[in-house]
């Protein structure tokens, strides 16, 4: 794994001030960051009024890395302790929820999930007691395997934003781009066939119990108009249902992603933006203290209207009964 610096974009102080002022006004008006139709409408209106400088900083990912770090947001010393779970976070860091939601709205259309974190558009990612060994953002003691965010669902995000509130221990997010890999043509062809499903992860308890239809087999790789994209979550992919040729190709893809993986240790105020069609992300293990000082990220998922990076057949998938909620009609 490389520790090379991720591509970065520096927000100018004036731009940060513009963003913060808009977020403060929305927070004063609504008194919460918990999303409602009225708050989302207010966010969209504020985002439409931003200048060209911020829009340029929020332009699409434009390197083969498939990611960038947005720098310049300020995290107040009065932030408060790291919550011990998303369920108890409430409005902790509400101002930053709104700043991230504004940024996400400039980049595309934020989405939420009915079955995850009470339908909030900004998720709190913190280690939680009793979840240390799960393959979810609440884990800590295990490697969070590299994966596409919400890979089980055809309505998954195009972009993933991870904003850092606290990271005293310099815990790294891992990321690996499919376009950095070197795979044999035969492996690409094999992995482009829909052979096995990707099942819902542990954050979607209702989806795991969905029994109305068989899990759809999905391709791991897709040759899009602009290059190869991927859909990948080995922790929830039943490879034992595939033949030996497919399993071998899948393992070689895992090895290649590991070879090109980079380590991104975010500092407070930095926002990692990942192209969810090009990059798998994960997290290194760490020892949680549960004393209010643990790593704390905010997560926002974003769809980009009109983007064509996925097989048309995805439109027929049932999504395990899960529905994405779009912030704005675009």
- Write out the DSSP string of 156-198: --SEEEEEEEE-TT-PPEEEEEGGG----HHHHHHHTS--B--
Q: 37-48 and 94-107 helices cross at what angle (nearest 10)? A: 60
Instruction: State the pTM of this model.
Output: 0.94
Q: Where are the alpha helices (DSSP H) in the chain?
A: 13-30, 37-48, 52-57, 86-89, 94-107, 185-191, 205-208, 244-260
pLDDT at 211 > cutoff 80: no
What single DSSP character describes residue 239? G
What are the CA-CA distances from residue 48 to residues 43, 103, 159 (Å)?
9, 11, 19
Domains parsed from the chain with CATH numbers: 8-326 (3.60.130.10)
Provide the sign of the torsion angle of the four alpha carbons 244, 246, 252, 257, taken in this order. Answer: negative
Query: What integer pLDDT is reported at residue 330 of this predicted model?
Result: 52
Give the phi and the psi of residue 70 in degrees, each rounded to 5.
-95, 125
Instruction: Return the structure tokens found at 253.
Output: 């893809």
**Could you give the CA distance from residue 138 to residue 45 in angstroms, rounded to a whole number?**
33
- Binned at pLDDT 50, 70 and 90, residue 4 comes out as low
224-271 tens-digit pLDDT: 888 999 999 999 999 999 999 999 999 999 999 999 999 999 999 999
CB atoms within 10 A of CB 8: 11
Computed on alpha carbons and rounded to an integer, the radius of gyration of the chain in Å comes to: 19
pLDDT at 329 > cutoff 70: no
Query: What integer pLDDT is reported at residue 212 of this predicted model?
Result: 62
Contact 42, 328 (CB under 8 A): no
- Binned at pLDDT 50, 70 and 90, residue 137 comes out as confident
Token pair 């998954």 is at which residue? 156
């Amino acid at each position: 794994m490389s520790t090379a610096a991720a591509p970065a974009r520096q927000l100018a102080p004036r731009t940060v001030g513009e963003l913060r002022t808009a977020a403060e006004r929305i927070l004063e008006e609504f008194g919460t960051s918990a999303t409602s139709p009225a708050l989302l409408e207010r966010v969209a209106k504020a985002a439409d009024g931003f200048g060209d400088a911020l829009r340029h900083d929020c332009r699409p990912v434009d390197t083969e890395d498939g990611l960038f770090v947005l720098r310049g947001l300020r995290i107040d010393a009065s932030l408060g302790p790291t919550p011990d779970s998303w369920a108890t976070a409430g409005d902790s860091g509400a101002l930053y929820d709104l700043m991230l939601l504004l940024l996400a709205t400039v980049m595309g259309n934020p989405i939420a999930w009915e079955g995850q974190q009470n339908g909030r558009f900004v998720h709190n990612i913190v280690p939680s007691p009793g979840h240390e060994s799960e393959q979810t953002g609440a884990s800590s003691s295990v490697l969070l395997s590299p994966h596409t965010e919400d890979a089980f669902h055809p309505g998954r995000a195009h972009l993933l934003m991870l904003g850092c509130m606290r990271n005293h221990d310099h815990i790294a997010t891992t990321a690996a781009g499919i376009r950095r890999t070197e795979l044999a043509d035969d492996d690409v062809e094999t992995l482009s066939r829909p052979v096995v499903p990707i099942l819902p992860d542990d954050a979607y308890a209702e989806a795991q119990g969905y029994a109305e239809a068989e899990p759809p087999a999905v391709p791991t790789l897709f040759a899009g108009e602009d290059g190869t994209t991927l859909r990948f979550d080995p922790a929830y992919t039943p490879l034992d249902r595939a033949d030996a040729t497919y399993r071998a190709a899948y393992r070689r893809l895992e090895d290649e992603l590991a070879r090109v993986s980079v380590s991104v240790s975010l500092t407070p105020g930095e926002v990692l933006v990942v192209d969810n069609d090009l990059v798998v992300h994960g997290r290194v293990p760490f020892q949680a203290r549960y004393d209010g000082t643990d790593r704390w990220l905010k997560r926002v998922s974003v769809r980009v209207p009109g983007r064509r990076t996925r097989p048309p057949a995805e439109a027929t998938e049932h999504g395990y009964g899960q529905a994405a909620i779009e912030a704005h009609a675009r």
